[in-house]
């Protein structure tokens, strides 16, 4: 059995894969241009997930030492960030609420953009997502600045988180109006902020309510009339 290293979406990282099938095509034009395309069906040896890998090499694509620089594509695309485990819970809770299903729909679209490396689209989706969360909780105040200010004044975020949101909103504006394309690290930072806000506003709120119901109430011991409270050491 032939094996190779490849990215696994289920394991979220490089893993050993069995090569189930492989086909290679190659060709040339004159003596100056050569190419090859290798298509492989792979099976992760950790979780048994099956995927496809397509490796394309063209003779002009080499490094400074003349070594080939192939282009590698994965199907489905390699996912550099997994969705939070609490998204299904949010989807179920919002299923019958038309005003809130937009939020979960937009979250799913955001992770599609992330998986396909559409960083500009993902940044704009984060901006739109946080705007809808704020409007859902405090209403539309007319501007982003007023929405963030009201969101903070109602206690949903701290003053520090307010500054984080302002940065996310500015990144969205820069993407649309100033040709900004975030790096992967920048995009992860933006998504981290969005996830933390959404988890705090919807998920932790729900968890806290459930926990409160499960905590047994305090018991109050009533003293009989004329009974003195116990003194120290009793």
Rounded Cα–Cα distance for residues 103 and 82 (Å)? 18
Task: Looking at the structure, tell me whether residues 66 and 94 fall in a common domain.
Answer: no
Task: Looking at the structure, tell me whether residues 63 and 94 fall in a common domain.
Answer: no
pTM value is 0.68
pLDDT of residue 134: 93
Task: Looking at the structure, tell me whether residues 92 and 61 fall in a common domain.
Answer: no
Tell whether 19 is covered by a domain.
yes
Cα–Cα nearest to 16, from 48, 38, 57, 44: 44
Q: Could you list the residue range(s) of the whole structural domain that residue 94 is in?
A: 87-213
- Condensed to tens digits (0 to 9), the pLDDT of residues 125-147 reads 999 999 999 999 999 999 888 99
Task: Looking at the structure, tell me whether residues 36 and 93 fall in a common domain.
Answer: no
* Average pLDDT score, the chain: 86
Task: Looking at the structure, tell me whether residues 36 and 149 fall in a common domain.
Answer: no
Task: Specify the higher pLDDT residue, 220 or 86.
Answer: 86
Rounded Cα–Cα distance for residues 168 and 166 (Å)? 5
Q: What is the mean pLDDT of residues 218-225?
A: 67
Q: What is the total count of domains within the chain?
A: 2
The upper half-sphere exposure of residue 188, i.e. CA atoms within 13 Å in the direction of its Cβ, equals: 7
**pLDDT tier at 80, thresholds 50, 70, 90:** confident
Tell whether 112 is covered by a domain.
yes
- Condensed to tens digits (0 to 9), the pLDDT of residues 170-210 reads 898 899 889 889 998 899 999 999 999 999 888 887 777 77
pLDDT of residue 129: 92
Task: Looking at the structure, tell me whether residues 91 and 182 fall in a common domain.
Answer: yes
């Amino acid at each position: 059995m032939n094996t190779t290293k490849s990215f696994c979406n289920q394991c979220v990282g490089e893993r050993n894969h069995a090569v189930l099938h492989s086909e290679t095509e190659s060709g040339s034009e004159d003596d100056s241009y050569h190419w090859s395309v290798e298509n492989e069906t792979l099976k992760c040896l950790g979780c048994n997930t099956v995927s496809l890998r397509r490796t394309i090499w063209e003779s002009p694509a080499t490094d400074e030492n003349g070594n080939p620089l192939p282009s590698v594509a994965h199907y489905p695309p390699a996912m550099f960030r997994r969705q939070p485990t609490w998204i299904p819970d949010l989807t179920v809770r919002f299923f019958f609420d038309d005003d809130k299903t937009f939020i979960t729909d937009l979250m799913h679209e955001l992770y599609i953009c992330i998986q396909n490396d559409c960083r500009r689209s993902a940044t704009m989706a984060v901006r739109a997502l946080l705007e809808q969360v704020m409007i859902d909780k405090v209403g539309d105040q007319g501007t982003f600045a007023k929405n963030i200010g009201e969101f903070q004044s109602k206690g949903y975020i701290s003053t520090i988180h307010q500054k984080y949101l302002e940065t996310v909103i500015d990144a969205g504006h820069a993407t649309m109006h100033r040709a900004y394309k975030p790096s992967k690290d920048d995009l992860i930072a933006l998504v981290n902020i969005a996830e933390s806000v959404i988890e705090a506003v919807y998920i932790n709120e729900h968890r806290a309510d459930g926990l409160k119901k499960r905590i047994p109430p305090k018991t109050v011991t009533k003293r009989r009339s004329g009974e003195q409270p116990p003194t120290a050491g009793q």
